[in-house]
Amino acid sequence: MAALSPSRRPVRWLTSLLATSCLLPTTWAQYYKIGTKQEILESARTLAYDMMLHYKGNKTGEIPGILPGPPTEHKGDYYWWEGGAMMGTYIDYWFLTGDTSYNHVIMEGMLHQVGPNEDYMPPNHTASLGNDDQGFWGMSAMLAAENKFPNPEPDQPQWLALAQAVFHTQAAPDRHDKTCNGGLRWQVPPTNAGYNYKNTIANACFFDLGARLARYTFNQTYADWAEKTFDWLWNVGYIDHSDWRVYDGGHVEKNCTDINKAQFSYNAALLLHGSAFMYNYTNGSEVWKDRVDNLLTGILRDFFPEGVAYEVPCEGRQGACTADMLSFKGYVHRWMSTVTKIAPHTTEKILPVLRTSTEAAVRQCTGGPTGRRCGFYWSGGVFVDPAVDKTSGAGEAMNVLAAVSSLLIQDTPPLATNLTGISKGDPNAGSRSQGPSEPLSPITTGDRAGAAFLTILILGSAVGTWSWMSLGD
């Protein structure tokens, strides 16, 4: 390369200085503080505001409840299920902080997507529905009941009944078959790509809902389904019997023996979450305590290297994470924080790690014109623009909102049951679509509240490169 002429050197020097000065906010400034409760509240409030900027459902002409998408229709980066996950994040945000600013938005979004049969199977999405997609909406409804989120008007579907409806439709005979000795398929319609795949996340959502409904309603039938589902995941080998790693799934034509050993953090964290609810429901069963403890050990080992959340399958290669994967860290933080409330013996292991991880998360939130935009790559300590993964950054923002607000978990009241809750349930919920495969035992008179990825996953060689599309709509 030719040497710079004397006249050009100052220009190059000035250009470099200006470029460096533009980077200063993203390199040095840290907007969010989490050293005190007040700082956490203030940071969470700003994060909630910034996250809501990604949501268009409260604007005229837009559809309540969903983030911009789906990508298959070139409408945005996000599939239907992630709107349900966002609703759950804000329900937790309200519960943890007391900020009611977004309750009307969440109420509107949650109710708009219930569908004509009030079971989170809206016609616009049923044709491409995954069990996990429906499951995320059902889990957010369950969370609303547990957190005592304000009830809808009496003529509207109620939170507990909606959670029951999702569970009952998934327990129906048409969702279960004898391939692989049981288990839910990933997709619901037989025409969908992925219908021949039985994966962990679909079954984990069903398991988690069953465990939580059992604890809330004291109805053993839900617990029986939850135990049966966990046992199936164990017996089919999706949970490793030696080190408790949680794998993704397998195909029915291979009797689910062609296990895709990709490890996604939300699979393991959701199994931990549901197991903790079963531990609580069974009054500290040693069986469920063993499952909680082993799953927790595996999660901390695999997904929190050096105490910071890390998405194993994709994070080592910027640009390799899908929009779905980019939202997993937030769920993991939320679910693990809840585990400390219902399985308190885990508190000393979980809370210090969540704080360390959250500190790393806010440290890198230095991007954009505000100097507070968040990226996905927490452990690096510097902001990486979400554009590297070709998304608008909603998942990245939701992750940090969840992590920061979850630091307040120890200040919250116990999750409700039918003895303390305010949400009305319905043992027959979901029957307008299909009924449960076995009748639920009657809910006692003491129930004053009425409670009773990957669209196509290409399994390839073990060279470490996975080909994805998305979780599916």
CA–CA separation, 419 and 416 (whole Å):
7
CA–CA separation, 45 and 401 (whole Å):
9
Residues of the chain with pLDDT under 50: 1-26, 28, 435-439, 441-473
Burial of 140 (0-12, 13-18, 19+ CB in 10 A): buried
Give the residue from 234, 232, 258 showing the smallest Cα distance to 245: 234
pLDDT computed for residue 318 by the predictor: 84
Residue with tokens 């999405």: 125
CA–CA separation, 321 and 249 (whole Å):
19
DSSP SS3 for 457: strand
pLDDT computed for residue 11 by the predictor: 33
Give the residue from 378, 419, 418, 415 showing the smallest Cα distance to 395: 378
433, amino acid identity:
S
Q: Positive or negative, the Cα torsion across 236, 242, 247, 250?
A: negative
For 341-399, write each residue's pLDDT tens digit: 999 999 999 999 999 999 999 999 999 999 999 999 999 999 999 999 999 999 999 99
In order of start, what are the domains of the chain with their CATH numbers?
Answer: 38-468 (1.50.10.20)
Q: Where are the alpha helices (DSSP H) in 29-130?
A: 37-52, 80-97, 103-112, 123-126
pLDDT computed for residue 434 by the predictor: 55
Please, what is the angle between helix 328-342 and helix 394-406, to 10°?
A: 20
CA–CA separation, 407 and 322 (whole Å):
27
Give the residue from 251, 233, 249 showing the smallest Cα distance to 241: 233
Task: Count how many residues are written for the chain.
Answer: 473
pLDDT computed for residue 180 by the predictor: 98
Predicted TM-score (pTM) of this structure: 0.88
Name residue 467's beta-bridge partners: 458
Do the beta carbons of residue 89 and residue 400 sit within 8 Å? no
Do the beta carbons of residue 125 and residue 133 sit within 8 Å? yes
